[in-house]
A and B are shown apart, each in its own frame.
Chain A
């Protein structure tokens, strides 16, 4: 197993466009988390899944953001009508059932022009 993977690693888009990111967790990890990290800040929680169920969403997750994990494996995070303030690193993490450690992917860096 090669760890958590994210695709793409970098995305540049124009304001108003939609973007979608993918996260593949470590196999057998049933929990999957999305975080956002802006420049000079620590990561901030966005949402998380247990299997295919989305259990919690942060108030940071505006209605332009949507996340899915349809089969309880990979997850997608979509941002509609992107704004310059959405520019950030989007990090995905996964953990085992009952696990206390979250394993992070390399992140997707989004730049909105």
Chain B
């Protein structure tokens, strides 16, 4: 069975400051890793994904994440956040054509 742990339920950060949202996963097989963003009362939008290859993955809106197999982590980073980045962020994993397993989410609040 797979599981995802998002270590921080809420992360407040000042505008233009850097941010890191942490994600650790557990799986006995190779996995694909995803970060989704959810704005209030909306569905999920894919930020970025790791399928294979380079462990540093760049996504939309200036976000990036690094896959670390030895630490089973896939932390999301942005060097400078904007007010518009305020949202819920979900880390998710699957092992290929299987249902996604999500973490509980991290609420990013950007403070002006």
Taking beta carbons and an 8 Å cutoff, which residues of A are in contact with B? 4, 6, 31, 33, 35, 40-45, 48, 56, 58, 91, 93, 95, 98-107, 109
Q: Are B43 and A106 interface neighbours, CB within 8 A?
A: yes
Q: Are A100 and B100 interface neighbours, CB within 8 A?
A: no
Q: Are A42 and B43 interface neighbours, CB within 8 A?
A: no
Chain B residues near A95 (CB-CB < 8 A): 97
Give the A-B contact count at a CB cut-off of 8 A.
57
Q: Are A56 and B32 interface neighbours, CB within 8 A?
A: no
Chain A residues near B90 (CB-CB < 8 A): 42-43
Q: Are A107 and B97 interface neighbours, CB within 8 A?
A: no
Q: Is B28 an interface residue (CB 8 A)?
A: no
Q: Are B99 and A104 interface neighbours, CB within 8 A?
A: no
Q: How many Å from the CB of A39 to the closest CB on chain B?
A: 11
Known: A31-B97, A41-B105, A43-B100. Is A100-B49 also a contact (CB below 8 A)? Answer: yes
